[in-house]
Structure 1
Amino acid sequence: MKSTFLLVAAWSLLGTVGLAATSCRPDTDVLPNKQIPGTQLPSNFPAPVYGLDENPPTHAAFELGRKLFYDPRLSRTGKVSCGSCHQQSSAFADAGHHLSQGVDGQLGARNTPALQNLRWKPNFFADGGPKHIETMPLAPITNPLEMDETLDNVLGKLNADAEYRRRFTQVFGGSGPIDSYQFLRALAQFTASLTSSNSRYDHYVRHEAGASLTDVELRGLAVLRQKCGNCHAGELFTDESFRNNGLDRSFPQDSGRAHITRSSHDAGRFKVPSLRNVALTAPYMHDGRFNTLPEVLDHYNHGMVESSTLDPQLRRAGQGPGIALSVEERQSLLSFLAALTDEQFIKDPQLAEQ
């Protein structure tokens, strides 16, 4: 879900209004956290932005959200679902595709990002346009290059389906039609559950029995913390900032964060992505220009170009922009990045299409 439509900001008000209007509706079937994916918060993670209490997980709501995520009827043609581009085996990215692929085979403007650990994000997409996990889906649903549908049409399809009406009533109560608040809250039950926290690195850092990293991987971790850690920070391996990492000298096609802020100071700045599961999510960068991780390291080592908004931390005095990496450091770093792959996450049957 990677569109940048500004209408998402307007829809964020919808959730606030809906919450006040429906706060007395029952949340049924609340189960122990361990029975619903993503609700046992990792001990090595910071506090989430979207807390469990904001949309209390229930088994029925989670399963409803999963059905919505994989339902192609959310698109105009009835052929493109959220899961069409966000595939579990690729950490809910779209491996092998440089740009997103929408209805009628149209190509979007950006590479499909991985959907993981969304509960910890203050904003979404490469430009940070959407501000809330519940309203985030409105952008891809309404983007003419992605799902090309209207919210009214989506609700019409859901209300015309007796099974959907039954399941929404089970979760939200009441006897009225399915509304936008219910739809977005249900979908957020699934997207918020997409927590990746069980890589070999996680087992090691949590001191779990038998967990270890090789000497090469530990050296790679040290390289990452020393040379990449200002941006790919903490246990989420991103500081959620927007930075220009020297991809282009000018930005006629995609201005990045400036698309939202309308400030020239943000031209060419894009959200720092998490490195979790990065070995699975090629191609890389907002436009998918690099096919492999070695190509990415080549860019940081000697491929950056100067521009007015290049991140100051990437400038080397008298040497041009870049991050110096020896052959050994590169190999160690690549080894460590592979240790961030979460096999449990990409194979969990509860996150797969029903």
Structure 2
Amino acid sequence: MQIESHYKKFTLLLVFVAALILVAATNADPVYTDPYKLEYPDYFGNRISIPDHNPTTKQGVYLGRMLFYETKLSSSKTISCASCHQQKLAFTDGKAFSSGINNVPTKRNSMSLANLLWVRNFFWDGRAKGLEAQAIIPLNDAHEMGAYLDKAVKDLQKTKNYPALFNDAFGSPDVTKDRIAMAIAQFERTLISANSPYDKYLRGEYKPTAAELNGMEMFMNSAEANKNIRGASCAQCHGTPKIYMELFHNNGLDSIPKDLGRESLTGMANDRGRFRVVTLRNIELTAPYMHDGRFKNLEEVLDHYNEHIMPSKSLSVTLQNRPNDVDGKSLGLTATEKANIISFLKMLTDSTFVNNPKFSNPHIKQK
């Protein structure tokens, strides 16, 4: 009898422990069992930036896509992330400065959201460390989204669909600020552009024209007047097959810049007028150009680098003393050379990317 009593107690203890484990599992962080397959070419490299606490899942990506196009995140209920980042324009908006909920222009040009999977510091001055941090800033900005995030959390919690979507993505129906940022970040990491004519050329699937090949050579070559090598020195800042390197440069727009750029973040005089080097993928679609949208077209951009670099103490070394001609003071590109470079830049337009239904507005029924 005594043995039987101990057996019953032991059985009850096991049941109790099992119940505790079940409760703990229910309240624990969800197990991510449905990963989103991020597809990109080997030549992009695998130094991707995904934090351990926010793995990319199908459920998280779908929720992020919903939120990216969700106007309920703005105080006016009229602005979403997609307002300043339109897919047809490679996730820019075609304006020198974007307009927020009160139609006050933002401080800088809207950047393209392509191939963010390899980026670690966001915005023109690099002030956001990671996509999760980046997503929070415009949501909390008074001019962009109306600093409405706290109220937006409550609004979404009251909807019929969002609690279920948050449950699918994060294991509970709770809508939180951090989860909103995490979901948007997951979606933005899927915005991979890798099927332009340039990519097809790298894969042996596209034969460039003579102008495109000449432009590619000029783009990749550094100007070396003493070696008779013609080049535009573009690849020093925009090199690698991704046509992007995570660098910050003062590219000679002004001798005395109105916008301090990265200096406003670091406090270092050498960072004055330095801004993040942007990706050149889909550059044909992302005008106007530069942090202040001052250049309307690619011709004006080439003219700047060819003829109008403004000297300053913080001018990047890569833009100093790069003539193609002996004793030259500038690149000295001919009209034909500039036209060829633009032909190459247009090879970076990825029609698959800007028409991919996986990136489109899920609130609108597709035909």
Query: Which category describes the TM-score, using the shorter chain as reference length?
Result: 0.7 to 0.9
**Structure 2: which amino acid aligns with 1:293?**
L
Q: Separation in 1 of the partners of 2:122 and 2:171?
A: 30
**Equivalent of residue 203 in structure 2, options 182, 201, 206:** 206
| Cross-structure match for 1:159 | 157
Q: Within 1, Cα distance between the matches of 2:244 and 2:286?
A: 16
Q: CA 1:228 to 1:164, structure 2 compared with 1: closer, same or farther past 3 Å?
A: same
Change (3 A) 1:120 1:70: same
Does the aligned pair in 2 maintain the 1:117–1:194 contact within 8 Å?
A: yes
Measured against aligned partners, the alpha-carbon deviations of 1:179-204 in whole angstroms (never above 9, x if no partner) come to 23322221112111110011011011
The alignment's TM-score, normalised by the length of structure 2, stands at 0.83
Residue deviations 1:133-156 (CA, integer Å, cap 9, x gap): 112111111122211224322222
Q: How does 1:111-122 map to 2 (within 5 A)?
A: 111-122=109-120
Distance in 2, matches of 1:259 and 1:52, equals 27
Look up the SS of the partner of 2:300 in the other structure.
helix
Would the aligned equivalents of 2:166 and 2:172 in 1 still touch at CA under 8 Å?
Answer: no
- Alpha-carbon distance in 2 for matches of 1:138, 1:276: 25
In structure 2, the residue matched to 1:94 is 93
Match for residue 179 of structure 2 among 156, 178, 182:
182
Of 206, 210, 216, the residue aligned with 2:211 is 216
> Which of 244, 248, 251 is 1:242 aligned to?
248
CA distance in 2, matches of 1:166, 1:307: 55
Q: Which residue of 2 aligns with 1:331?
A: 339
Query: Which residue does the alignment assign to 1:191?
Result: 188
Identity of aligned residues (%): 38
Q: Which is greater in Rg?
A: 2
TM-score, normalised to structure 1's length?
A: 0.86
Give the distance between the partners of 1:71 and 1:217, measured in 2 at CA. 40
**What residue in structure 2 maps to residue 281 of structure 1?**
286
Aligned with residue 348 of structure 1, among 331, 356, 363: 356
- Root mean square deviation of aligned Cα: 1.9
Query: Mean Cα displacement is larger for which, 181-190 or 103-112?
Result: 181-190
Q: In the TM superposition, what are the counterparts of 1:227-266 in structure 2 within 5 Å?
A: 227-251=233-257, 253-266=258-271
Partners of 1:28 and 1:170 within 8 A in 2: no
Equivalent residues, number = 321
CA contact (8 A) 1:28 1:171 kept: no
Q: Deviations over 1:34-62 (max 9, x none)?
A: xxxxx112222022332497643332222
Amino acid at match of 2:216: L
Describe the superposition over 1:180-230 as per-residue Cα deviations: whole angstroms up to 9, x where unpaired. Answer: 3322221112111110011011011122xx422122211111111112111
CA–CA distance in 1 between the matches of 2:240 and 2:296?
A: 26
134, 137, 141: which one aligns with 1:136 = 134
Deviating 4+ runs (over 6 angstroms): none
Between the aligned partners of 2:180 and 2:28, the Cα distance in structure 1 is 15
Cα offset for 1:265? 1.1
Query: For residues 44 and 28 of structure 2, what CA distance do their matches in structure 1 show?
Result: 29
Contact 2:74 2:149 in 1 (8 A): no
Runs of at least 5 residues in structure 1 that lack an aligned partner in the other structure:
1-21, 34-38
Q: Could you say which structure has the greater relative contact order, defined with CA pairs below 8 angstroms and 6 or more residues apart?
A: 1
* Alignment gaps of 5+ in structure 2: 1-26, 222-232, 363-367
Structure-1 residue corresponding to 2:321 = 316
